[in-house]
Structure 1
Amino acid sequence: MPLVVARAGRARRRPAPAAAVAAAVLAGTLTACGPPAPTPSTTTPAPTATDAGPLPDDVARALAVEVAQARTDRVARVVELRVRNAGPVDVTVVEGRLTTATTAAPAVTEKEREIRGGSTRAMRAALAAPTCPAVATGTAGPDPAPVVELDVVDAEGRAGTVRVVPTDETDDLRRVHGEDCAAAAVAAGLRLGLDDALVTREEDGRPVADLVLRVEPVAGGPHVRLVQVGGTTLLRPAAALGPWVVDVDSAHPPADGRVVLPVVPARCDVHAIAEDKRGTVLGVRAVVDGVEQPELYVAASAQLRGALHEFVRAACGVPDDART
């Protein structure tokens, strides 16, 4: 079970009682792993910022946190702190802070949340810059060792900071760190991006779109080879059902800096198009200085995303106003 320690603390701003509250963000890479996350421990209570006194221990110990990441938040590197209040007392979390050994600074929640007794609510927080090794290792890195601090106040105005060791059931923090450091390692030797322009044509009687991956070597950077570009839930290679097998070498890049990826729709059901979340984000496999890296991702711009959706709708014969 998560270890929870409460201490009376200064709330960053004093919210109204719970009933009134209910009515009323890839940055640069460091060259060494940052300091480990703090270990939860008992602290000496500090003076309370409210007249009501400190948050009771039983209220604090009823709080637990799970860290998770929605698919739609992967590009933005945003995670959710899913705060569970197992007790009977309604509380407001004024602010949450996630500290890990794999990021340079805490991730701070965007806004406060009232969490009624017996309920769970998610609080979004953008991860800080990753701490990556100077030399690409191809691994997901150290244990993230996450710790969450919650600034909490209850309906009576009793306030405190609750420190929790969260769960991470799907190991999202380790996965994100691997993706971040792979992207940084590749970017040090080869810049990647997708052209906004999308050329469509007909091949063997079917519509095909030419998606262009731009590659630009970085002078003095590590040796990078791109070996594979993956399809998505929305797009697949025109010539195969699997990924695009490529061989792009930073020492001998394409003369025009372009890798053309002919695409066709991977599926044509209305739901796949209308509810698309990751269909225009391509997974790339690379080798840096001989070390295979975790998969990294290259996302389409808003302009290209719109063009790809339009292409898929047209190729599938789906009206623009179709709904699930």
Structure 2
Amino acid sequence: MSARAAVLAALTAVLLVAVSGCSNPPSPAVSTAPAAPTPTGSDTSATAPDTAPVVVDGLGLAILQNRPDYGARRLQLSITNETDASVTVTAARFSSPQFTTPVAAEKSTDVPAGLTRYLPVALPDAVCPAPAIVPELTVTVTDATGASRDITARPADPFGVLDRIATEDCLDVAVSAVATLRLSDTLRVTGDGPDAVAHLALIVEPRPKGVTTDTGGASDTAPAAPSGNGPATLHLDHAASTILLEPADGADWPLDLDVAPGDGPATLTLDAVPARCDPHAIAEDKRGTFIPVTLELAGGPAGTVSIPSSDPLRLAIYAYLASTCGFAVPNG
């Protein structure tokens, strides 16, 4: 096998391991939204989430996100069988006012006594500003006798998933009214061996002046700022490192760019080096190729948006890490 073929085979194997995490039991995703205030008293027990599901008619109901769900915009419906007999969930329907439509799980699943099963659902478009969040989960259950029943409840949200998603969704909507942020599919690399530097291109594409995101039509004025005072403007402050990549010089990538509808496109170069050099970092990666950008809308929200890498860019980043970190490759 040639060295090039070996590299491709190794990267393919790593990618398969990385994406296989989608089937693992969910763990809470790390939020890029602003953190909630911490109580100032000495007793911090109030910040610990109650992870117990809401139990109705023998079923424990909750909602969660694991790390692979985060970028894919999925939610996990967690269903625990609190009875002493196996049941089959034949349907599950989730809704919340923060989303435009309800969603349903695509297939049924057996839930043995005492165990938990996770049903993934794709999240619909967001409603912004987000209304009061009152989720509802309806589960259709069939027992061993063939009897079927519907169970409806407000599921537990032990890690505040829905509040976080609402904050992030509406920040994304506000940002998209001003500009589109994306990473180029192409990764430029300079230097050799451990001194190689990857240059990611962050592309900023302002919306045409007068085009709104609500109707897709045109008007005579630019989108209004969230405050209602003047046209919307966006300030890109900085981009932060990930578990795989960090700035070649400094703790963050300074951006310091102001953007308004009608401006010309801009490309910002992020010079990056490996944040860590071990194959496990790639094999276990879920968010390392998402670049967090901290920004603020004039008179509106501020926070961090995560810019995803396309498949070609993600493969190029993994190849850069393998080459720069000197992952062993068989000769021949």
TM-score, structure 2 normalization? 0.72
Unaligned runs of 5+ in 2: 1-54, 210-221, 224-231
Deviations 1:56-101 (A, max 9, x none): xxx9611011110011111121010110111012111111111112
Deviation, structure 1 residue 107? 2.2
CA contact (8 A) 1:183 1:297 kept: no
Residue equivalent to 1:246: 255
C-alpha separation in 2, matches of 1:69 and 1:128? 15
Distance 1:277 1:115, change over 3 A: same
List alignment gaps of at least 5 residues for structure 1: 1-58, 134-140
**In the TM superposition, what whole-angstrom CA distance separates every residue of 1:286-323 from its partner, at most 9, and x where no partner exists?**
111233423211100000000001001111111368xx
- 1:114-263 counterparts in 2 under 5 A? 114-133=110-129, 141-202=130-191, 206-218=195-207, 219=209, 220-221=222-223, 222-240=232-250, 242-251=251-260, 257-263=266-272
Superposed CA deviations along residues 5-55 of structure 1, whole A, max 9, x for unmatched, are xxxxxxxxxxxxxxxxxxxxxxxxxxxxxxxxxxxxxxxxxxxxxxxxxxx
TM superposition shift of 1:173: 1.2
Cα separation, 2, equivalents of 1:159 and 1:204: 63
| Match among 292, 297, 321 for residue 283 of structure 1 | 292
Alignment-derived partner of residue 316 in structure 1: 325
Higher helix share: 2
Q: Do the aligned residues in 2 keep the contact of 1:229 with 1:246 (CA within 8 Å)? A: yes
Aligned partners of 1:79 and 1:319: how far apart in 2?
38
Q: How does 1:63-102 map to 2 (within 5 A)?
A: 63-102=59-98
Contact 1:143 1:174 (8 Å CA) reproduced? no
Cα offset, 1:144, TM superposition: 2.1
Do the aligned partners of 1:94 and 1:111 also contact (CA within 8 Å) in 2? Answer: yes
Amino acid at match of 2:168: E
Distance in 2 separating the partners of 1:148 and 1:205: 51
1:302 aligns with 2:311: yes
Check whether the contact 1:248–1:254 (CA below 8 A) recurs between aligned residues: no
Overall identity of the aligned pairs, in %: 33
Given that 2:91 and 2:105 are in contact with CA atoms closer than 8 Å, whether structure 1 keeps it comes out as: yes
Instruction: Using the TM superposition, give the Cα deviation of residue 105 of structure 1 relative to its aligned residue in structure 2, in angstroms.
Output: 1.2
Change (3 A) 1:252 1:85: closer
Q: Which runs of 4+ in 1 moved over 3 A?
A: 251-256
Aligned partners of 1:290, 1:228: CA distance in 2, in Å?
Answer: 19
Q: Using a 3 Å threshold, how does the CA distance of structure 1 residues 206 and 304 change in structure 2: closer, same or farther?
A: same
Tell me if structure 1 keeps the 8 A contact 2:238–2:254.
yes
Q: Which residue of 1 is the match for residue 8 of structure 2?
A: none
The count of corresponding residues between Structure 1 and Structure 2 is 255
CA drift of 1:273 comes to 1.6
